[in-house]
Structure 1
Amino acid sequence: MTSWFRDTTGGLPRTFWYLWTGTLINRLGSFVLVFLAIYLTQERGFSAAQAGLVLGLWGVGGAVGTTVGGTLADRWGRRPTLLTAHLGAAAMMLALGLARPLWAVAVGALLLGMFAEAARPAFGAMMVDVVPAADRLRAFSLNYWAINLGFACAAVLAGLAAQSSYLLLFVVDAITTLVTALIIFAKVGETRRATTPAAPKGGPAPAGALRTILTDRVYLGFVALNLFGALVFLQHISMLPIAMGDSGLSPATYGSVIALNGVLIVVGQLFVPRLIKGRSRSHVLALASLVMGVGFGLTAFAEAAWFYGLTVLIWTLGEMLNSPSNATLIAELSPAELRGRYQGVFSLSWQVAGAVAPVAGGLVREHAGNATLWAACAVIGGLMAVAHLVSGPARERRAAQLRPPAEPVTPVTAVRPPAPQAAEAAATAPAPS
């Protein structure tokens, strides 16, 4: 165990550990998004469609934020982009908690999503900047572990706090976001100049940056696959709490059930890098998609808390396999001088899903029924598994082409932060929550 712990945590840069600490603190207070659907439907009396609309606007704001955040990370710098995003998110968190009319709640969710998700590309780019390629698999796994340790604690605490005061959820979330900003301000320096000399600080963007991304079919294909996966995964935030409420289960029960996701990841995530080492990334990602589809599909048959908990444990296993391979693959497919923008485009897939998933989930559930919604999730998971197997070889060839000659070569078959949830990894890379 001592050797395993040293191999897992040893030798990583100090800046990484400051970012890791900020991630953990921020996620310990990530109350709002987990309980927003319950807050809107049970506390505020909005319909499932109206709640889906508000969550969708959060995703729309996130799409704008992650696009702007990726550009600013390359032009302005990682550090100022992170600080601005965190400070703006803390302010909007309080504003959303105090908003009363539906239109004010909708605007608050839109602006909060914009500020919160602007942090993702900068955070992901900074992680890649400071961690050598040979250490990225375990670094992203450690960061994803911190995200879910905080999430597991936050889900339980938020369920208890919601029984006292929903406003308390927004206040605590804002405070932990501010603490994260203070850590970045005091301990984390700018990292962009060390890795992207072609784009000096304050200088113009690399010529043809947008065209480069839009013509990168291999990368955009991978982003599209992540979009479909996110549409399924984000149902645990939007439609799962509503389904559990319809089964007569309380918000505290939902908090305990969804906390199993974080608990399982905390217990097992750090063992995943050794488990998947030496295995084809395409096969790992295909298996992850299939397992997640099965887990969400079984939700159609759930009524009791233990059955909901079982489904959470199943799709969490898929999430654990998906996360480190996804994050390291995004790092390898991103040219150094466009790292922030590439991270932004990948995060954009999560924001588009964040806008579409609750609205689509709410409409399917209202018009076709609860069982149809979860069956569709299972079908999407199966189709994604096939797509990963087909597209995997082209991704590995592209990663090999982009790897600098001096960069240590890691086995391409060895290597998803959670994030999304980067994030939830780059997909689950932590944003202010």
Structure 2
Amino acid sequence: MKRLYNSYINSFRGLSPEIWWLALITLINRAGTMVIPFLSLYLTTDLNLTLGQVGWVMSAFGLGSVCGSWLGGKLTDKIGYYKVMVRSLLLTGILFIGLQFLHTFSSICLGIFFVMLVADMFRPAMFVALSAYSKTENKTRSITLIRLAINLGFSAGPAIGGIIITTMSYAGLFWIDGISCILATLLMINVLHPKKAKTQDNIINDNPESAYKDKAFLIFLAAMTMFGIIFLQYFSTMPLYYKDIHNLTELEIGMLLGLNGAFIFIFEMPLIKWLENSGFSQTTLMIFGAIVIGISFVVLNLTPWIGILLIGMLFMTIGEMITFPFSNAFAMERAKRGNQGEYMALYSIAFSIAHIFGHNAGMHMADSLGFENTWYFMTLLAIVCIGLLWILMRYLNKNKAVKIL
């Protein structure tokens, strides 16, 4: 047990102080994002929107995310990651508080769009900050630490959110989400000023290549878009499946989603450290992650037993733990070829596009075809994702062989 404990602690060693501050800021920010997992439930129960309307709201969510990621990448390359992160966090907090006062379908679509436009400006800036503050050999573990912070906040958030909904109302979620963003802004201003930071990895490129001409990166983005569409079902369509088919309460749904974050917090860092030393390539590991997340949907259709929900969540979590850190690391390594903001913005946009189509498609399919057929369709998309990653691996190996010759 002591050896296991020491191995776990050692997996965190060597990370720069700035990465730890980024992780704490992210933790505070994510601890309040309990609105997102309950958004589909809020829209259907409190505002009485149809599943079709909820799908369009989620598309507005994704469209805002695409625009915000693109704008965040452009601004990061122009004014720097620090200014973008501070302004994004502060404005997001204010907008989240205001979101609760919108009640019509059109105003909600517009409100969600602007919230995500501002909120997702943060993502490419944060990736550039992370890349600058972490040593080359620590990139994947630095990403994993940030993800641990996200998931620690996310594991507590839904559970607390379920309690707040049960005892108070959905309005409290918007206040907590907004205030947490503002608190994260204040912390960042006080502890992570760029003048005090010491850049660990200089990745300035005097002759940057355009990300749009990087064929391998474009194949990778297509695969991540597919993966994002599959993964996001767990945070929009899946909560409705839990409630409508298995009759779970908001509190039980929050606890189930919270297990995802808790499991990641405990096991992801040691798993990533072990996989880094396994000799497998990043693309091979991403393929394995896509296979596992595809299985998470298949098992749901095997039995009506309620325990299968835990098994499905476990498979999804393992797939997520493997794919996200190594896809992040892959994107940051490719970003050294060109403008960092542009590359990391496109990486964020891949998941933003998934938000546009994933939620909407999932909602409409569940409404018209039922949840069982929806999960089979998501499994098919997982196979497409695996195929794209296999093509990427072959392409990279071929180019590597050509360079050697």
Under a length normalisation based on structure 2, what TM-score does the superposition of the two structures give? Answer: 0.91
State the alpha-carbon separation in 2 of the partners of residues 156 and 398 from structure 1.
48
How far off is 1:393 after superposition? 4.4
Q: For residue 186 of structure 2, what is the amino acid of its counterpart?
A: L
Percentage of identical aligned residues: 22
Residues 66 and 118 of structure 1 are in contact (CA less than 8 Å); yes or no, is this contact kept in structure 2? yes
**1:383 maps onto 2:384 in alignment:** yes
**Secondary structure, in 3 states, of the residue corresponding to 1:99?**
coil
**1:363 maps onto 2:364 in alignment:** yes
State the alpha-carbon separation in 1 of the partners of residues 109 and 212 from structure 2.
31
How far off is 1:284 after superposition? 1.4
How far off is 1:263 after superposition? 1.7
Residues 31 and 156 of structure 2 are in contact (CA less than 8 Å); yes or no, is this contact kept in structure 1? yes
Identify the residue that residue 65 of structure 2 maps to in structure 1: 62
Residues 211 and 338 of structure 2 are in contact (CA less than 8 Å); yes or no, is this contact kept in structure 1? no
Query: Structure 1: which 5+ runs fail to align?
Result: 200-205, 403-433
State the alpha-carbon separation in 2 of the partners of residues 230 and 76 from structure 1.
29
Pairs within 5 Å for 1:27-426:
27-163=30-166, 164-190=168-194, 195=202, 212-247=210-245, 248-276=247-275, 277=277, 278-301=279-302, 303=304, 305-335=306-336, 338-395=339-396
Q: How many pairs are equivalent?
A: 393
Residues 79 and 184 of structure 1 are in contact (CA less than 8 Å); yes or no, is this contact kept in structure 2? no
State the alpha-carbon separation in 2 of the partners of residues 303 and 189 from structure 1.
53
How far off is 1:11 after superposition? 2.3
**Secondary structure, in 3 states, of the residue corresponding to 1:72?**
helix
Bigger mean CA offset, 295-304 vs 36-45: 295-304
Residues 32 and 169 of structure 1 are in contact (CA less than 8 Å); yes or no, is this contact kept in structure 2? yes
- Aligned-pair RMSD on alpha carbons? 2.3
**Secondary structure, in 3 states, of the residue corresponding to 2:339?**
helix
State the alpha-carbon separation in 2 of the partners of residues 143 and 400 from structure 1.
34
Residues 196 and 337 of structure 1 are in contact (CA less than 8 Å); yes or no, is this contact kept in structure 2? no
State the alpha-carbon separation in 2 of the partners of residues 197 and 294 from structure 1.
41
Residues 27 and 150 of structure 2 are in contact (CA less than 8 Å); yes or no, is this contact kept in structure 1? yes
State the alpha-carbon separation in 2 of the partners of residues 398 and 146 from structure 1.
36
Bigger mean CA offset, 387-396 vs 274-283: 387-396
State the alpha-carbon separation in 1 of the partners of residues 41 and 310 from structure 2.
18
How far off is 1:333 after superposition? 0.8
Q: For residue 45 of structure 1, what is the amino acid of its counterpart?
A: N
**Secondary structure, in 3 states, of the residue corresponding to 2:49?**
coil
The 1:215–1:85 alpha-carbon spacing in structure 2 relative to 1, beyond 3 Å, is: same
Bigger mean CA offset, 185-194 vs 27-36: 185-194
How far off is 1:336 after superposition? 6.0
Residues 141 and 273 of structure 2 are in contact (CA less than 8 Å); yes or no, is this contact kept in structure 1? no
How far off is 1:395 after superposition? 3.8
State the alpha-carbon separation in 1 of the partners of residues 97 and 273 from structure 2.
42
**Secondary structure, in 3 states, of the residue corresponding to 1:98?**
coil
State the alpha-carbon separation in 2 of the partners of residues 361 and 192 from structure 1.
44
The 1:7–1:72 alpha-carbon spacing in structure 2 relative to 1, beyond 3 Å, is: same
The 1:6–1:244 alpha-carbon spacing in structure 2 relative to 1, beyond 3 Å, is: closer
Query: Structure 2: which 5+ runs fail to align?
Result: none
The 1:149–1:398 alpha-carbon spacing in structure 2 relative to 1, beyond 3 Å, is: farther
Per-residue CA deviations over 1:330-386 (Å, capped at 9, x if unaligned) read: 111112651111000010011111111111112212222211110011122123223
How far off is 1:74 after superposition? 0.9
How far off is 1:198 after superposition? 5.9
State the alpha-carbon separation in 1 of the partners of residues 100 and 327 from structure 2.
34
Residues 229 and 355 of structure 2 are in contact (CA less than 8 Å); yes or no, is this contact kept in structure 1? yes
State the alpha-carbon separation in 2 of the partners of residues 347 and 13 from structure 1.
24
Per-residue CA deviations over 1:125-184 (Å, capped at 9, x if unaligned) read: 110011011011211111111111111111111111112210100100111111111122
Residues 297 and 376 of structure 1 are in contact (CA less than 8 Å); yes or no, is this contact kept in structure 2? no
The 1:177–1:395 alpha-carbon spacing in structure 2 relative to 1, beyond 3 Å, is: farther
How far off is 1:389 after superposition? 2.6
Q: For residue 241 of structure 1, what is the amino acid of its counterpart?
A: P
State the alpha-carbon separation in 2 of the partners of residues 192 and 302 from structure 1.
54
The 1:273–1:197 alpha-carbon spacing in structure 2 relative to 1, beyond 3 Å, is: closer
Q: For residue 228 of structure 1, what is the amino acid of its counterpart?
A: M
Per-residue CA deviations over 1:8-30 (Å, capped at 9, x if unaligned) read: 22222111111010011111111
**Secondary structure, in 3 states, of the residue corresponding to 1:92?**
helix
Q: For residue 389 of structure 1, what is the amino acid of its counterpart?
A: W
State the alpha-carbon separation in 2 of the partners of residues 396 and 110 from structure 1.
40
Identify the residue that residue 18 of structure 2 maps to in structure 1: 15
The 1:232–1:112 alpha-carbon spacing in structure 2 relative to 1, beyond 3 Å, is: same
Residues 148 and 264 of structure 2 are in contact (CA less than 8 Å); yes or no, is this contact kept in structure 1? yes
Q: For residue 133 of structure 2, what is the amino acid of its counterpart?
A: V
State the alpha-carbon separation in 1 of the partners of residues 383 and 264 from structure 2.
23
How far off is 1:301 after superposition? 4.7
Q: For residue 314 of structure 1, what is the amino acid of its counterpart?
A: F
